[in-house]
Amino acid sequence: MRFYRDRFAFVALVTFLLVGANVPAAPPRPPGPMNPESIVQPFIITFDRHEVQVIALLANHPVYDAIEVMVTRRTGRPPLLRAIITQLDGVQIDFINDEEMARERAAVLTNRRTLYRPMQYEEGERNGLPTMRLRFTSHEGERILLSFEAFSPPTPEQGGFINPGNHSEDSSLPMMWANTSAFAHPSSQVTVDGISYQLRPAPQPGALLFIYSEDFLIGVIREGELGLWLAWAPKRVAVGERWLYWDNLRNLHQYEIIGMEGDVLTLHKTTTSSFLAEEILTVQRVEGKFLLRSVRNTGRLGRRQDVPPASQGFTLRMSTEEGFSLSTDEHENLVTGSASWKVSGNTTTRMLHPMDPPWTQSRTVRASVTRYGPWHRTENTVGEH
C-alpha cells in the first residue's frame, strides 16, 4: 500500500509539472464540449499468465457449479491468488488475496462481485505428480477447501483452448488457453463447511473433472465502467508525444506515440492501476478522427519503457470495419466475428458480434465512450442486454 501511495504521489507531481496547477485532485462535474482530439481505448480488457490454474466441476452442490483458483507466482512474495466461485446460473464471484487489486477490480467491474480474502495455498508433488491445497472463506462465510492430486502428468493433449460454458455469460467474453492439463485422482476432494461434494467424472477413465493446468493464459473483454479526465493532450501528432488521463480511482493513464507509418499510429499505453495492464494500440487517423485498429494487452502492470515482442499478449484486431479476431501469443484467431460502430451525439460505441466458436455468440460486446469536454466515460456491456 505504501508503494502504491508513493507511486501516486510521483505521477501526480509529473502531471503537475507537465500541465500546471490546474489539474483537479478528482474529476469535477462534466463541463461543456471541447474540440481537441483525444484517444481513449474503449474496451475493458484484462490478460493474465498464471503458472497454475485449478478448477473443480461439482456434481451435487445445490448452488455452486464450480470452484477454481488461478495462481501467479511472485519473486520474494507469496503468490497472487484469484479464487472464483461459479454458481449454477453462471454468475461468478471473485476472491483475491491482494487488497488493492480487489478494491480496484470491484470499482471497475461493476457487474462482478469481487472480495478481498486471505487464503492458504500449498502446492507440491506426490509420486512425481502435482498436488495442490487451497483454503479460503466464501462470500457466504463458508469454509472452502480444494484438495487436488493429479491422476496422471499434465499434457498438452488435455490442455488447449477452453470452452467456459455459461460461466459469466452476461459479463465477459473470455479466451482461455491451457498449455498442459491433468485430471484429478479419486483421492481429490472439495469440501464446503466440512461437507464433501461429488466431482463430475472426467473423460479419462477413473479420473475426476477437477482439472489442473500449467501455463494458463486468460484474456477477457469485461463488462464495467471507468471515468477518465484528460489532463494533457499533445499540440501535434508526432513520435514521443502523449495523452495523459486521470481515472476516477486516481490512477494515471499514459498514451505515448511510439511509431508512425502514414496515417497509422502505434501507441504505448501504461497505467498506475493495480490491475489494468500495459497495452499496445494501433489507430488510424481518418479525417481528423482516430479509429482503433488493434489492442494488445501484455498483462504487465506498472509503467514500462520497453515494448515486448509483437506476438506476446492478448490481441484484439479490428483490421477492417466489418470483422474482428482475438488471439493470444502464437495462438491466432481463436475467436472471430463481425464488428461495427456508431456515433450518437457525443457517444461513440463499438460493437463486437462473436460468431466462432459457437459458444461465443451470446457474448456480444458493446464498448462506448461518452465525452463531455475533458471528461470521458467508458462503459462496456457483454451479452444480451
The reported pLDDT for the residue numbered 322 is: 82
The reported pLDDT for the residue numbered 305 is: 66
Looking at the fold, whether 281 and 190 belong to one and the same domain comes out as: no
Looking at the fold, whether 213 and 247 belong to one and the same domain comes out as: no
The reported pLDDT for the residue numbered 320 is: 65
Residue 175: which domain range? Answer: 48-218
Could you tell me where the beta strands, DSSP code E, fall in 88-207? Answer: 92-96, 113-116, 120-126, 129-137, 143-149, 160-162, 172-184, 189-192, 195-197
Ranges under pLDDT 70 in the chain = 1-36, 304-305, 308-311, 320-321, 385
Number of domains in the chain: 2
List the one residue out of 237, 339, 345 whose CA is nearest residue 286: 237
C-alpha to C-alpha distance for 69 and 192, rounded to whole angstroms: 15
The reported pLDDT for the residue numbered 319 is: 74
Evaluate if pTM is beyond 0.85.
Answer: yes
Asked whether 277 and 257 are in contact (CB, 8 A), the reply is no
The reported pLDDT for the residue numbered 19 is: 43
The reported pLDDT for the residue numbered 16 is: 43
List the one residue out of 7, 13, 23, 37 whose CA is nearest residue 271: 7
H helix count then E strand count, the chain: 2, 25
The reported pLDDT for the residue numbered 288 is: 75
Looking at the fold, whether 192 and 75 belong to one and the same domain comes out as: yes
The reported pLDDT for the residue numbered 283 is: 95
Looking at the fold, whether 286 and 181 belong to one and the same domain comes out as: no
The reported pLDDT for the residue numbered 384 is: 76
Looking at the fold, whether 213 and 85 belong to one and the same domain comes out as: yes
Pairing of strands 45-57, 64-74: antiparallel
Alpha-helix residue ranges (DSSP H) falling in 51-162: 99-108
Q: pLDDT digits over 240-252, tens only? A: 999 999 999 999 9
Looking at the fold, whether 232 and 90 belong to one and the same domain comes out as: no
Asked whether 84 and 92 are in contact (CB, 8 A), the reply is yes
SS3 assignment, position 102: helix
The reported pLDDT for the residue numbered 30 is: 42
Looking at the fold, whether 201 and 316 belong to one and the same domain comes out as: no
What backbone phi and psi angles, to 5 degrees, belong to 169? Answer: -65, -30
- The conformational region for residue 333 under phi > 0 = left, psi -120 to 50 = alpha, else beta, is left
C-alpha to C-alpha distance for 317 and 333, rounded to whole angstroms: 9
Looking at the fold, whether 229 and 368 belong to one and the same domain comes out as: yes
Q: 218, 239, 268: which is the final residue of a domain?
A: 218
Looking at the fold, whether 285 and 377 belong to one and the same domain comes out as: yes
* 159 CB-near residues (< 8 Å, 6+ apart): 177, 178, 179, 180, 181, 213
Looking at the fold, whether 247 and 378 belong to one and the same domain comes out as: yes
Q: pLDDT digits over 151-181, tens only? A: 999 999 999 999 999 999 999 999 999 999 9
Q: 199, 218, 237: which is the final residue of a domain?
A: 218
